[in-house]
Amino acid sequence: MLRSSSKLTNRFLGVALLGGVAALAALAQNGLVLRYELIELTAPEGGQSRAYSVNNTGQAVGWVQADSGKHSAQWHNRATTDLHGTVHFSLKHPLFDQDYSEAFAISNGGQIVGTARTSIECPPTFVITNAFVLRPSVLSDLATPYPGDALANLMTLGNPCQTAYDSAAIGISNSNYVVGWADRIDGVTHAFLVRPLNGTFVADLNEDLVNDLMIDLGTLAASDPVSSATAVNDAGEVTGYSYTLRGDGTGGYHAFLLTPLDNNADGFPDQWYAGAGGVNDLMTDLGTLGGVNSWGRAINNNGDVVGESDYDAPTGEHYTRAFYWSDGTMTDLGTLRDDPLHGFSAASAINDAGVIVGWAEDEERNRRAFVYRDGVMQDLNDLLYLLDEDGKRITPGITLTEARDINEDGVIVGWGTIRGSSDGSTRGFLLNPVMVDPNALEPTEPDDSNTPAPGDDDNNPPTDYSGVPDFGAPDTGDDTDPNDGTPNGGVSPISLCGASGTAMLPLTLAGLCWLRWGRRRPV
């Protein structure tokens, strides 16, 4: 396992811990060790589920399997809520009339963002997907654009009847900044940010079907055709990635950090774009670990960014690796394998205490959820503390494969493969940190059920990683998963959405191309 630089390790050791994290640190000084209580986040009808985000009150969001597709879901106090059953997100709601949605993030105030399908009459009538902001009806209806309603369609960066079809809201801060990606009228996809105005997230003053509060964040360079924002912190700093074309016609993604301007010097940012021709001078290129591509996935309130980057090993192999970026330095977090030069990994979240979660290959080259703290990466499957009524340790029902978020108390959410499933079915999880006496830990029997499910191999990054929804098969009957591919550099711009080149595209671009092929479904 690869150790981080002394800078990163010292950051973990020197940070001022607060709340539950401080309590855990104090208990650790008394000889106790950190373990996790596992709560499986089930679907109402027992189908598949995945959790993407958790806030500081322990509310988690993601999706659950429904009879006809996926539904946004929320979990709290071990209870599952199918958000399609709420008053404000019923299947007959005029904003979203299709039976499909995914929730990608939740703020401490309970604002949920994601993407959902809806039909639009141009003519003809076809189905598109749009970003949404939802506050479930059981909570306050403050800060919503419709009196008595808590659901807002954020729309796109152009008129949906003129090729600006789709969008997805991927991140939301506790100050209610919303970020994601959206189509433009010229057919390209750009990162966006929405800052609510007077409690509303949508304003269409000239009735052109464009959200006037949606800010086009641009790209790193004039030649860049695609960008996406994946996370935003409370200060309005944004991370994501921009596809950058080079002079030789090849290109690759680069992670960015966007630092907004505070022109009024009042402590609140008011400008997220500065430049010309789509180039955003407020974006900083975070570089790579030496390979072609990098993707920013999460940012904490200290401005630290995590994600994954291409890495070319000295032995010639190519991998994507989890990274931590701070103050101009990108650090390789390694993998769960003993040999630090080999293996894949990706970081998906970082809290303000600097604890990082994601997924990495283990020694058998299986994808496993990890937590990274104090310079050490650990397999979360090895840190579970589950007891039966007699106090004996028991085997969980899932193998933890991807950790997707961590809150300030160290609570982690993600998903795992259901043990014994033959098709790689997944179930969401929530891990509560607990401190236990190491003498009480009993060794468990070797578990043969960790055999990777189909698709759980070292060559595939996690599906839906960037928040690009899986729309299922097109009407041709081809059920190939468009998001099942390894990020790969050197893609010619000519073949960005070519039918023969999707397997070699970076994950998110493959998903974006899939939207263009399959989004216009006649209804």
**pLDDT for the residue 175:** 95
Instruction: Give bridge partners of residue 200 from the DSSP assignment.
Output: 197
Residue 275: φ, ψ to 5°: 150, -160
Q: How far is residue 396 from each of residues 39, 317, 350, 387, 418, measured CA to CA in Å?
A: 10, 35, 25, 10, 9
**pLDDT for the residue 494:** 28
Say whether 494 sits in a helix, a strand or coil.
helix
243, 253 Cβ separation under 8 angstroms: yes
Q: What is the DSSP letter of 12?
A: H
| Token pair listed for 388 | 């039966």
| Greatest pairwise CA separation for the chain in angstroms | 69
Q: In 3D, which of 131, 285, 241, 150 has the Cα closest to residue 194?
A: 131
In SS3 terms, 444-474 reads as: CCCCHHHCCCCCCCCCCCCCCCCCCCCCCCC
293, 506 Cβ separation under 8 angstroms: yes
The string over 23-39, giving b where at least 16 C-beta atoms fall within 10 Å of a residue's C-beta and e elsewhere, is ebeeeeeeebebbbebb
Say whether 422 sits in a helix, a strand or coil.
coil
| CA–CA gap between residue 403 and residue 305 (Å, rounded) | 16
**pLDDT for the residue 361:** 97
| CA–CA gap between residue 285 and residue 506 (Å, rounded) | 18
**pLDDT for the residue 136:** 65
Q: In 3D, which of 261, 221, 260 has the Cα closest to residue 242?
A: 221
**pLDDT for the residue 393:** 78
| CA–CA gap between residue 110 and residue 142 (Å, rounded) | 11
How is the chain split among helix, strand and coil, in percent rounded to 5?
10, 40, 50
**pLDDT for the residue 421:** 87
| CA–CA gap between residue 12 and residue 137 (Å, rounded) | 39
Say whether 84 sits in a helix, a strand or coil.
helix
| CA–CA gap between residue 98 and residue 76 (Å, rounded) | 25
**pLDDT for the residue 66:** 85
237, 258 Cβ separation under 8 angstroms: yes
> pLDDT means per 10 residues in the chain (523 residues)?
36 38 63 93 91 97 89 93 69 67 95 93 89 69 44 92 94 97 94 93 89 96 89 98 82 96 93 95 96 96 98 89 97 94 96 98 96 97 86 87 98 96 93 89 51 40 39 31 30 32 34 40 44
| CA–CA gap between residue 271 and residue 247 (Å, rounded) | 31
**pLDDT for the residue 28:** 61
| CA–CA gap between residue 355 and residue 19 (Å, rounded) | 14
Asked if the peptide bond before residue 136 counts as cis, ω within 30 degrees of 0, the response is no
